[in-house]
Amino acid sequence: MSRERIQSLFQQILDDETRRDAPQAADLARLSAALDGQPATIPETTTARLAAMLDGGLDDGARRDMDDHLGRSPELLQELRAAQAFLDAVDAGRSAAPPELLASTQDNDRRATKAPRPRKLFWTWSAAAFAMALAALAAVIVVTRPLPPTPTTLPPEARTAPPQAGAPSAMLPAGDETVVPAPRPGKIELAPEGPDVMPRALTSPAPP
């Protein structure tokens, strides 16, 4: 082992012109694992950042961040290189999409499968709960409100007392008399009673 030999190895690594022979290439391949570390946690926006890196659209701060990620993650560096090669291939082999495929993207039936956003979901359920509470409150009010007198709740004397001339019938709702429909002219016919409308035991006995 000598210092010169290792210096020579480092120069080979960084050299950008001299062709290497097979043993040199093998040595460098073996050294390439030296910087391997733990896989970096890669954020969701990586694809956007890789695209920006390759299009030269990162500002200085974002580029420093990407340099750091790429220098520490061999996977991400492989991804950058693969992305560059892939984009070159797309540019070189660009072909027009078949018209029927393009048309299929415009199909209104293929709508986005949009998941409800949590905030919207919260308000939806809140509104539903509020409506149910309101309905329950209304039901309580209706049930507990004193009912207007009916023939069955009136005292017997009131039920049997003849109506006063001009006074409204106790059986009619309050309001104008015109709301009471007049009987239709002509013969009133009862709907035929079918055998299974009501159990026979509960029907009135048939006339002799």
Partner 1 sequence: MAGRPAKLTLNTEEDRALIRDVLQGRASAWTVFAERIADTLWTAARLLTPDDIEARTAFGEIIDGLRVDGFRRLRAYDGSSRIETFTALVARDLLAERLMRRLRQDPPAVAWNAFERFFQSDITRLIARRLPGPDHEQSRQDAYQDICLALLADDCRRLRQYKGIGSFGGFVLHVIDRLLVDFIRSTWPRRRRSETAAPEELDGLASDAPSPEAAILAQEEEQSLAVAAEVLRRAADTLSAAERLYLSIALGGGAPIPAREVARLMSRPVAEIYKLRQRVLSRLYEALDKHPAIKKWRATV
Contacts to partner 1 from residues 38-57, by CB under 8 A: 39-42, 44-48, 50-57
The sign one gets for the Cα dihedral 144, 148, 151, 153 is: positive
Count of residues that bind partner 1 according to CB under 8 A = 95
- Residue 110 found at the interface with partner 1 (CB under 8 A): yes
Q: Does 72 bind partner 1 (CB under 8 A)?
A: yes
Query: Closest distance between partner 1 and the C-beta of residue 142, in Å?
Result: 43
What is the DSSP track for 134-196? HHHHHHHHHHHSPPPP-TTTS-HHHHHSPPPTTSPPTTSPSS-GGGSPPPPSS---PPPPPTT
- Nearer to partner 1 by Cβ, of 74 and 154: the residue is 74
Q: How many Cβ atoms sit within 10 Å of the Cβ of residue 89?
A: 10
Task: Pick out residues in 10-29 that bind partner 1 (CB under 8 A).
Answer: 10-11, 13-20, 22-29
Rounded to whole angstroms, the Cα distance separating 172 from 16 reads 106
User: Closer CB to partner 1, residue 104 or residue 153?
Assistant: 104
Q: Cα–Cα distance between 84 and 54 in angstroms, integer?
A: 7
Is residue 203 close enough to count as binding partner 1 by CB under 8 A? no
The two three-digit tokens of residue 155, written as one number: 């005292």
Minimum distance between the CB of residue 24 and partner 1, rounded to whole angstroms? 8
Quickly count helices (H) and strands (E) in the chain: 8, 0
Nearer CB in complex with partner 1: 86/130: 86
The interface with partner 1 within residues 78-107 (CB under 8 A) comprises 78-98, 101-102, 104-106
Q: Binders of partner 1 among 116-135, rule CB under 8 A?
A: 117
Does residue 145 belong to the site contacting partner 1 (CB under 8 A)? Answer: no
Q: How many CB atoms lie within 10 A of CB 76?
A: 19
